[in-house]
Amino acid sequence: MQKNEILKTFNRTKDKLIVAGNGPSLGNIDYTRMPEDYDVFRCNQFYFEDKYFLGKKVKAFFATAAMFYYQYYTYKHLLRNGDYQIEHIISSNASFVLEPLLGKCFHELFPLAICGVDIMRQHKIIKDFVMEQWIYNDKFITSGFYACAIGAILGYKEIYIAGIDFYEDNKTYVFDNSVKKNLYTIIPEFDNSDIANWHSKECDISLLELLISLGVKFYSLVPNSAISNIVSLAPQTQSTLDSNILKTKPSETIKDICIPASKVFPHYYKTLLQKIDQNALKHLEKTDEIPRYIALHPRNNFYIKLMSDLLSLPRHVKTYIKRKLSTPPPPPQEKIWL
């Protein structure tokens, strides 16, 4: 997707942006510091919140590629239920988490979504930094800072942060994940400490410093938070708050990830494989099941590794045969008579 097409699709009309993570500091926003006329980016399971910390309007909902199948389904239910007014859903880290399984058919499977990689490719310096952290340091940018990077590329001039706490608090999230039955149905091993190990405070701060060097201004909305030790507190304003901010969410709102019927899930990955490798699809169909946990993070998932090997096997075999055929036989050795 070309830059002009991306900008037209996203339709940014404001210069100020609030990026909210799901850390404990999200519950401690100083609302006297809220900017005027801003957009809001939310991340991952933000809808688990019990009250509307930043209202119902969301310019972009960032969901990691490994969970995108479920998050896109949940996004549709959030809209239909009237829980939030979400303008865009963006897949983050897609190119190196589920490539080629997701990347090659993303727009066909999720026509209303934006692939974050399409935006990231528009800025080589930021893209290079993100990729360097992954391929050399084995670290992923946290979703909050990934959203900050995307915001910078899209042209936001001022970014206000809340709920990004670098996993420093014993309570990693502002809400209680342990009561989310569907989340643990999808990822039984979902564990705060494991997730924190995928990220690095130093990595996120380095990205923040890069974005600042590129001319983006950053502010914290939460006094005495981890991020307020790094960037300045936002100035106090007289802005009028959205009427939905801090309202308690009704009981009928969605507060867990949504899961479609179990029989639907295998069709999703069959569709992916039909686009990528028919031989790999045949291998999996012999088992009469495409495992549910294929959607999880590749380095923790046997099935992702297995599928990756299956997808690359034909190429490796072809290369091996080609080399064999192109390599001349060794010259015959002369016999030495003793």
Among 150-154, 178-182, 221-225, which is the least confidently predicted range? Answer: 178-182
Write out pLDDT tens, residues 28-87: 999 999 999 999 999 999 999 999 999 999 999 999 887 888 999 999 999 999 999 999
Is the pLDDT higher at 322 or at 135? 135
Mean of the pLDDT values across residues 78-101? 80
Peptide bond into 100 cis (omega under 30): yes
Nearest to 184 by CA among 306, 293, 64, 90: 293
Answer CATH for 3-229 from 3.40.140.10, 2.30.30.30, 3.30.300.20, 3.90.1480.10? 3.90.1480.10
- Give span(s): CATH 3.90.1480.10, the chain: 3-229
The structure's pTM equals 0.79
**Contacts for 230-235: CB closer than 8 Å, 24+ residues apart:** 230/205, 231/161, 233/30, 233/33, 234/33, 234/34, 234/35, 234/160, 235/33
Write out pLDDT tens, residues 252-284: 999 999 998 766 665 666 666 555 555 545 554
Q: Give the pLDDT of residue 286.
A: 53
Write out pLDDT tens, residues 153-177: 999 999 999 999 987 666 678 888 7
